Amino acid sequence: MTKIIFLDAAGTLFYVRGSVGEVYAKLAKNFGVTVNSKDLNTAFYQSFASANPMTFPGIEEAKIPQLEFEWWLAVSAKAFQIAGVFNQFSDFPKFFAELYAHFATPEPWFVYPDVFPALNKWQQQGIELAVVSNFDSRLYPVLKALNLAEYFTSVTISTEVGAAKPQPEIFTAALQKHNCTAENVWHIGDSFKADYCGAKSAGLKAIWLNREQEKVAESKLPLTETKLEQCSRLDYLAI
């Protein structure tokens, strides 16, 4: 029986209420800036996709929170620039500081309905659970505020490791916390590339949490794979 399961965080355990664009636009309105939330959402994902991975290899731990803040500041500023409203802000750093703090609270997030039933089932079965995520250090207060923290014996994030999924180093760092070998661990996450392919390349067993039932071409499967292990809900999953 499987004894350890690693899980991704955002998109797997919880997600933004509505959309990132809606949250950004709502807070921007408090600063006198009006923007279409759909346009801003599209702009955000364009900015996010073009950014370098949020990793800070070789940086001392005390400096990481400030670097995370600056990384997100650049991504958010570019999103508002793409949306064509950046110049409407009289004090963008002040706005962003409020926005950044907002996402460290439970207010903009919701937990998927299949999550607690699955976590409770696995916990009752004696399976050890851990989080492996490309989130920043705000993940710790978010997990706690969403009543998820108590389920996990470890949390491994890219900014602290200096490597982001799908890089194998982040999985290796998580494995070291549990003193286990990769082939005895399952990793579950919503990103086909970062979670499924990343875990497979690191030697873990993997399941793609394909909530939207997306299609993936066979040519994109890892070279050693002949079958894609996937599910649409955590609580329907038998491991």
How far apart are alpha carbons 47 and 57 in whole angstroms?
22
Average per-residue pLDDT for the chain: 95
pLDDT at 172 over 90: yes
What is the per-residue pLDDT across 77-129, written as a single tens digit (0 to 9) for each? 999 999 999 999 999 999 999 999 999 999 999 999 999 999 999 999 999 99
Query: Which of 120, 111, 115, 170 lies closest to 142, judged by CA?
Result: 111
Average pLDDT over residues 7-25: 98
* Structure confidence at residue 239 as a pLDDT band (50, 70, 90): confident
Average pLDDT over residues 157-177: 97
How far apart are alpha carbons 8 and 21 in whole angstroms?
22
pLDDT at 205 over 80: yes
Residue 125 makes CB contacts below 8 A (sequence gap 6+) with 1
pLDDT score at 170: 98
46 touches 82 (CB < 8 A): yes
What six digits make up the tokens of 9?
Answer: 């965080």
First-residue to last-residue Cα distance in the chain = 8
Average pLDDT over residues 50-54: 95
Query: Which of 6, 24, 1 lies closest to 194, judged by CA?
Result: 6
Tell me the DSSP string of 56-72.
-TT--GGGHHHHHHHHH
pLDDT score at 70: 98
Residue 168 makes CB contacts below 8 A (sequence gap 6+) with 198, 201, 202, 203
pLDDT at 1 over 60: no
Listed range (160-174, 176-190, 196-210, 211-225) with the worst mean pLDDT: 211-225
Ramachandran category for residue 7: left, alpha or beta (phi over 0 → left; psi -120 to 50 → alpha) = beta
pLDDT score at 2: 62
**Single pTM value for the model:** 0.94
Order across the sheet with 230-231: list the strands.
154-157, 128-133, 4-7, 185-189, 205-209, 230-231
Residue 58 makes CB contacts below 8 A (sequence gap 6+) with 162
pLDDT score at 237: 84
User: How far, CA to CA in Å, does 149 sit from each of 12, 122, 125?
Assistant: 14, 15, 18
